[in-house]
Amino acid sequence: MVTIKDISRACGVSPATVSKALNDYGDISEETVRMVKKVAKEMHYLPNSAARSLKTNTTHNIGVLFVDETSSGLTHQYFSLILNSAKEEAEAHGYDITFICQNLGGRTVSFLEHCLYRKCDGVLIASVNFDSEPVHELVHSEVPVVTIDYSFDNVSSVMSDNVEGSYELTRHLISLGHEKIGFIHGELTSVTNKRMRGFFKALEDYGIEARDDYIIQGHFNDPSSGTEATDLLLDLPDPPTAIMYPDDFTYLGGMAELRRRGLSIPEDISVTGYDGIRLSQVLTPALTTWHQDAERIGRESVRKLIETIENPRTCEPEQIMVSGSLYSGCSVRKLVN
Amino acid sequence: MVTIKDISRACGVSPATVSKALNDYGDISEETVRMVKKVAKEMHYLPNSAARSLKTNTTHNIGVLFVDETSSGLTHQYFSLILNSAKEEAEAHGYDITFICQNLGGRTVSFLEHCLYRKCDGVLIASVNFDSEPVHELVHSEVPVVTIDYSFDNVSSVMSDNVEGSYELTRHLISLGHEKIGFIHGELTSVTNKRMRGFFKALEDYGIEARDDYIIQGHFNDPSSGTEATDLLLDLPDPPTAIMYPDDFTYLGGMAELRRRGLSIPEDISVTGYDGIRLSQVLTPALTTWHQDAERIGRESVRKLIETIENPRTCEPEQIMVSGSLYSGCSVRKLVN
DNA sequence: TGGAATTACGAAAACGTATTCGAAACAAGT
DNA sequence: ACTTGTTTCGAATACGTTTTCGTAATTCCA
């Protein structure tokens, strides 16, 4: 490996001068800078990141927390889209991405310790249990953090607007005449909380009374829970005319159950999903669903993270809300009375 | 940050002794080792990875090449499953994962240069254009490499057995009486090559003549190409009785077209997919498809990579073939003649 | 008891870079 | 001519480890 010393020897200047020239320190004559850079290129010089980090205490490296418990993490399209765009945005800014976990060369450590060991300039937190102690420790530490779909005080976050999405889907149903709306929700996370808020708000705004028996607890990303919940709703003495599913994938289970009962969509029952994954638009009928702009969420989150990394004093914490959009498919019909 | 020097002061021994004690060098009395480790823990000592790498030229960090051109990378479930299990396997061995790209602090560099800069101990190559020069450069460099679904001489690789999968699917159709089989394939990659080999081999083994008009070029992971190709096949004067799609997702496009024409599956036409993604088992009818063991592919590839990293002399290059399995759904019917 | 072997530790150098501070050279202003 | 200022560079130090080699102390064996 060719080092700064080799270049300094080849150029007949000191290592200090070479370092300054390569980093445009401003202290070196233009002529010398040109020469040093030329020789460096010729000799295929590559800086040593370890030496550089040791000296500057920065790495141009951002950590990512992605835990895939119950396969709702990396494996879920929503998060893989986020990760992918986050990766692209980071690369565009010259940052690399490293996964953060609780294992360090065999030893169990906290997330924070892992970050400190690797000297991540900042870290992106997504798809974890935000209520856990290790996550809290990290969030409240000195290392710059941006969270996704969860917000802490004094920490920037990027969130899919779940209140909006749920509200708009509900409003869409109501505007087509539906008043008996079954609502299947996922695990009781903060995301589910917001979805509920949006749902109830829409009902209230349009003067429709919420009915307890129409609210069913299911699971995210789990077709069989969609099947079960659908079953429950349809067995009610006064079943709903429309069913909202917690996500597109869970809907698939519901769809199977509806088909099994000989009901056709949307003639006999209207349905909506959530996420707007590619699959939903290929189904027949195409699913009416809420598209979360995962790509933008990933992009915005690392943009904000890098901004706080590079302007530690001036950059204010910010709650960034990313709007989604209604994918209007053919799974909801206009109800005539 | 507490350093080795702080510990040495607290313990009344030299920094050298502390370092050796912490790393179980074997040179230090058990008593001292115990004391040093105890104090280190009490003071919340964390090694400095930069200093360590600078000295040892290793990082316990493995690079991953994942390029998502045409969204066939990270975003595709097959690859996100691989990435996820690779991540878990690496973490279990105390290695971290960093994405490798061609951007270094704003400057464009080769993949190899990026790896050298970050001092990756090894690199996993998946989902890239293996014919490109930058990939060749990396593969033929000094840094340990494992490739996924592509093999180079003298380099370890882990591959989904595409010949097997295609062969078994075809054989399955033949065993149920199908002889007129439409074969839609993806882009002409090495994967497609192997799928073709398996397909033709099965036809030959069972004495069925291959027909050119039944072979259609489509795209991977692209429902609309599934629609088009299906269209072509059904418009033939003598259409096939079964259609094989290049993957489950592309099949969705074909499914829509079949439905549009009023054909029901499998009564009027039999179909198979490829990949065995979760979605395929939720469809009605459940898709008969070939499940690629992505989880195992990710696991095996980093296991092999770490093995060659830690035994540079003794570890031989190896071509690891990972078998898949037939998911027998309800999308193929027995043909009576 | 004398020498050899073993054990336990430390001094010092090295990894490659960034940065502080001072010096030299020269220009500019009075 | 003397100060003052500016530009350009280099010597030296520091970042926190790991590792070699030497040495003192202890044990072993004949």
pLDDT at B75: 76
- pLDDT of the residue at B145: 97
Q: How long is chain A?
A: 337
Buried b / exposed e across A303-336, counting CB within 10 Å, b at 16+?
Answer: bbbbbbbeeeeebeeeebebebebbebebbbebe
Q: What is the pLDDT of residues A272-296, one digit of tens each?
A: 999 998 889 888 899 999 999 999 9
* pLDDT at residue number B68: 67
Instruction: Considering only residues 23-82 of chain B, list those whose CB is below 7 Å from strand D.
Output: 23, 25, 27, 45-48, 51-52, 54-56
Local structure of A270: helix, strand or coil: strand
How is domain B61-159+295-322 classified at the CATH fold level? Answer: Rossmann fold (3.40.50)
Q: Which CATH superfamily is domain B162-292 in?
A: Response regulator (3.40.50.2300)
Give dist(CA B180, CA B270) in Å, integer. 11
One fold for both B61-159+295-322 and B162-292?
yes
Would you state the pLDDT for residue A283?
86
**Which pTM was predicted?**
0.92
Pairing of strands B181-185, B107-108: unpaired
The closest of A308, A323, A325, A327 to A142, measured between CA atoms, is A308
**In the structure encoding, which two tokens stand for residue B324, read together?**
């898949």
Would you tell me how many other CB atoms lie within 10 Å of the CB of residue A140?
13
* Angstrom distance (rounded) from CA A326 to CA A175: 14
Structure tokens at B17: 């002794």
Q: CB-hemisphere CA count at 13 Å for B169?
A: 38
Best mutation target, A99, A112, A113, to test chain B (most B CBs within 10 A):
A99
Query: Which three-class secondary structure state does DSSP give residue B175?
Result: helix
Q: Is A16's CB less than 7 Å from nucleic acid strand C?
A: yes
Cβ contact B49:B1 at 8 Å: no
Q: Determine whether B50 is exposed, middle or buried from the number of CB atoms within 10 Å of its CB (0-12, 13-18, 19+).
A: buried
Amino acid A150 reads Y
- How confident is residue A337, by pLDDT bands cut at 50, 70 and 90? low
Structure-block tokens of residue A228: 């079960």
Mean pLDDT of A66-92: 83
Using a pLDDT cut of 70, give the percent of chain A over it.
98
What is the arithmetic mean of pLDDT over A258-266?
A: 94
Instruction: Give the closest of A46, A87, A252 to B116, CB-based.
Output: A46
pLDDT above 80: residue A254? yes
Q: What is the DSSP letter of A187?
A: S
3-class DSSP assignment, residue B215:
strand
Q: Does the nearest atom of strand C lie within 7 Å of A47's Cβ?
A: yes
Sheet holding A319-322, edge to edge: A319-322, A156-160, A145-148, A122-126, A61-66, A96-99, B96-99, B61-66, B122-126, B145-148, B156-160, B319-322
- Mean pLDDT of the region A125-132: 89
User: How many contiguous H segments (helices) and E segments (strands) does chain A have?
Assistant: 12, 14
A246 close to A220: Cβ distance less than 8 angstroms: yes
pLDDT band at A154 (very low <50, low <70, confident <90, very high): very high
- Chain C: positions less than 7 Å from a protein CB are 7-12, 14-21
Query: Is A87's CB within 8 Å of B99's CB?
Result: yes
In sequence order, the 6+-apart residues with CB closer than 8 A to the CB of A131 are none
For strand C, is any atom closer than 7 Å to the CB of A4? yes
Query: Please, which residues bridge with residue B98 across strands?
Result: A98, B63
Can you tell me which residue has the tokens 């590619």?
Answer: A278
Weakest-pLDDT range from A78-82, A229-233, A324-328: A78-82
Amino acid (1-letter code) at residue A188: L
* Average pLDDT value for residue range A251-272: 95
Q: Can you say whether the dihedral through the CA atoms of B82, B83, B88, B89 is positive or negative?
A: positive
Q: Give the gyration radius of chain B's Cα atoms.
A: 26
Contact predicate A326/A163, CB 8 Å? no
Is residue A115 a contact partner of residue A142, using CB atoms and an 8 Å limit? no
In this structure, is the CB of residue A40 within 7 Å of any atom belonging to strand C? no
How many CB atoms are closer than 10 A to CB A153? 7
The more confident residue out of A104 and A228 is A228
- Sketch the domain layout of chain B as residue ranges: 4-47, 61-159+295-322, 162-292
Q: How far apart are CA B130 and CA A52, in angstroms?
A: 32
Across the range A235-241, mean pLDDT stands at 97
Ranges of chain B whose pLDDT falls below 70: 68-73, 337
B150 touches chain A (CB under 8 A): no
Q: What tokens appear for B302 in the block?
A: 């980093």
Distance (Å, rounded) from C-alpha B75 to C-alpha B127?
A: 11
Residue B282 has what pLDDT? 85
What pLDDT score does B337 carry? 62
Distances (CA, A) of B23 to B16, B53, B236, B257: 11, 15, 71, 64
CA distance B296 to B303: 10
CA distances from residue B31 to A27, B88, B89, B183 in whole angstroms, order as listed: 53, 36, 35, 71
Taking a C-beta distance cutoff of 8 angstroms, is the pair B290, B274 a contact?
Answer: yes
- With an 8 Å Cβ cutoff, is B310 touching chain A? no
Q: Which of B99, B113, B279 lies nearest to residue A279, judging by beta carbons?
A: B279
pLDDT score recorded for residue A279: 86
Residue B237 CA to residue B115 CA, distance in Å, equals: 55
CA A119-A121-A124 angle, to 5 degrees, is 110
Distance of CA A74 to the CA centre of its chain: 10
Classify domain A61-160+295-322 at the CATH class level: alpha beta
